[in-house]
């Protein structure tokens, strides 16, 4: 892409140093100078509070909006009264002589205690915790199963996971990304179950991220995924702790973000997007049936419009004899070719969907019904689109929403377009070609270096296309190449014995 590189007028910009990598700046014995330095470094922000204590020999410095006044009272002033102003006797304090460290502590929500004539600064953790209650995620509701979900507090999220895996090998490695934001992320895995090479790979990828701000899980995943240009999602994102724990125990890695309820899971396979925690809480036969329905819906979602277009445009002989006259009657008076009809209808459906999301939920569903019914009816009566095409597109979009994962459902809807175009040019050959392209793309895809789609082992079918009873699933998925391939200490193979 040398063409796009600007060689000449390269803008000059200052390098930003992350807070934890700031070179030390020694504090002085003068209270005034220290406060001046802090004010200057924090750009005289108005939320920087400097409370001079009686006598003007001591000062308490903190950022007003992120500290808890109650905690300041309880952890600093009350003990100070008890010890008669001797700060060194108070417990739970940190000390430093570095003013830059003092600045970062202030930013974390600590209060700084400075004394005239001393160069030592004392820190107290008085951070104000802002958390949301633990509620079930809106977009991942289950009928049976636990109803808790992650929220924006990373500590609480880790707590939810730790409570479920009470073993010492549950490893949590925290790091920060983003030079300005210093967003905290936590890589979580079960040592001994996860493939160590995958962990190493992920760690190097995270280390190589260089950016000012990383704010969302989606943006983060684009930095570390294998194929950014692919249409398929390569990280499973969930807000459910039970799903996360199940994936951790399979041998996968979970990535949690501070201030973000989304948890990313990798390495994943294509089939992981079709699994739902509900599957494991219902009877296995029912779960298998639902899985098969989902698989069918996948095929339906990407091929139904193109199949219809190919049949109407090229392969009329496929239509059963009894159906020929109704089909002909439906499409005879339509002014546009099937592809235009299909694209029009898909766009209408997308419009209804998108407007439904943005509107408040009571209006959103109304808009969905009104938009769907009114537009659907009017568009057929006006002769713009045949009623068969309305059925086809409605079925297709229904099928695409069957996928438990939102990202995969979006990808599927986008994938319909190239197939529609191919089928309108080449009929069934076009569909075959399109499917081949999709398949070969899937076959070549990787998630953290492990294969994404193939090789599909017969053994792995037990928890992908169908779901067999739990006692028959004795092995972890082959794809993960786990150092602990069996799910129990007994090395018996999948012979079906309990």
Residues at the interface with another protein (CB under 8 A): 197-198, 201, 226, 314-315, 317-322, 426-429, 431-433, 435-437, 439-440, 442-444, 446, 448-451, 453-456, 481
**172 or 437: CB nearest another protein:** 437
CB of 463 to another protein, least distance (A): 17
**3 or 458: CB nearest another protein:** 458
**219 or 318: CB nearest another protein:** 318
CB of 466 to another protein, least distance (A): 13
**17 or 429: CB nearest another protein:** 429
181 and 150 Cβ atoms separated by less than 8 Å: no
CB of 313 to another protein, least distance (A): 11
**17 or 432: CB nearest another protein:** 432
CB of 200 to another protein, least distance (A): 9
CB of 298 to another protein, least distance (A): 13
CB of 286 to another protein, least distance (A): 23
CB of 445 to another protein, least distance (A): 10
CB of 247 to another protein, least distance (A): 19
**362 or 455: CB nearest another protein:** 455
**427 or 483: CB nearest another protein:** 427
**251 or 356: CB nearest another protein:** 251
């Amino acid at each position: 892409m040398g063409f796009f590189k600007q060689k000449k007028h390269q803008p000059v910009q200052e390098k930003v140093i992350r807070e934890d990598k700031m070179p030390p700046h020694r504090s002085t014995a003068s209270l005034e100078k220290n406060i001046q330095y802090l004010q200057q470094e924090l750009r005289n922000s108005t939320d920087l509070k400097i409370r001079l204590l009686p006598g003007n020999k001591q000062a308490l410095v903190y950022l007003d909006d992120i500290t808890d006044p109650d905690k300041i009272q309880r952890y600093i002033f009350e003990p100070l009264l008890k010890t008669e102003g001797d700060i060194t006797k108070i417990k739970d304090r940190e000390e430093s002589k570095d003013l830059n460290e003092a600045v970062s502590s202030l930013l974390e929500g600590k209060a700084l205690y400075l004394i005239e004539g001393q160069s030592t600064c004392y820190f107290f953790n008085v951070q104000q915790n802002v958390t949301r209650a633990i509620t079930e995620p809106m977009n991942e509701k289950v009928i049976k199963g636990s109803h808790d979900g992650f929220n924006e507090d990373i500590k609480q999220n880790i707590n939810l996971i730790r409570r479920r895996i009470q073993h010492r090998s549950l490893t949590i490695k925290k790091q920060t990304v983003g030079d300005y934001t210093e967003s905290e992320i936590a890589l979580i895995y079960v040592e001994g179950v996860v493939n160590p090479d995958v962990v190493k790979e992920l760690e190097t990828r995270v280390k190589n991220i260089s950016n000012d701000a990383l704010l969302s899980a989606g943006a983060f995943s684009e930095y570390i995924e294998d194929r950014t240009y692919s249409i398929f999602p390569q990280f499973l994102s969930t807000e459910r702790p039970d799903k996360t724990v199940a994936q951790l125990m399979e041998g996968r890695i979970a990535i949690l973000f501070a201030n973000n309820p989304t948890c990313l899971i990798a390495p994943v396979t294509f089939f992981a997007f079709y699994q739902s925690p509900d599957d494991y809480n219902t009877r296995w036969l029912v779960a298998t049936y639902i899985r098969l329905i989902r698989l069918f819906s996948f095929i339906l979602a990407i091929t139904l419009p193109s199949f219809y277009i190919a049949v109407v445009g090229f392969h009329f002989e496929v239509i059963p004899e009894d159906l020929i006259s109704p089909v002909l009657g439906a499409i005879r008076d339509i002014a546009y070719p099937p592809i235009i009809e299909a694209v029009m209808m898909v766009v209408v459906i997308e419009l209804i969907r998108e407007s439904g999301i943005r509107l408040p939920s009571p209006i959103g569903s109304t808009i969905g019904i009104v938009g769907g019914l009114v537009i659907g009816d009017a568009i057929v009566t006006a002769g713009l689109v045949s009623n068969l095409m309305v059925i086809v597109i409605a079925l297709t979009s229904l099928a695409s929403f069957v996928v438990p994962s939102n990202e995969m459902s979006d990808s599927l809807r986008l994938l319909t377009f190239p197939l529609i175009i191919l089928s309108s040019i080449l009929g069934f050959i076009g569909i075959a070609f399109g499917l081949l392209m999709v398949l070969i793309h899937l076959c070549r895809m990787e998630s953290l270096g492990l294969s994404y789609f193939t090789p599909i082992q017969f053994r792995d079918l037990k928890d992908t296309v169908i779901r067999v009873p739990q006692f028959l699933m004795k092995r972890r998925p082959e794809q993960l190449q786990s150092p602990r391939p069996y799910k129990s200490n007994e090395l018996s193979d999948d012979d079906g014995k309990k």
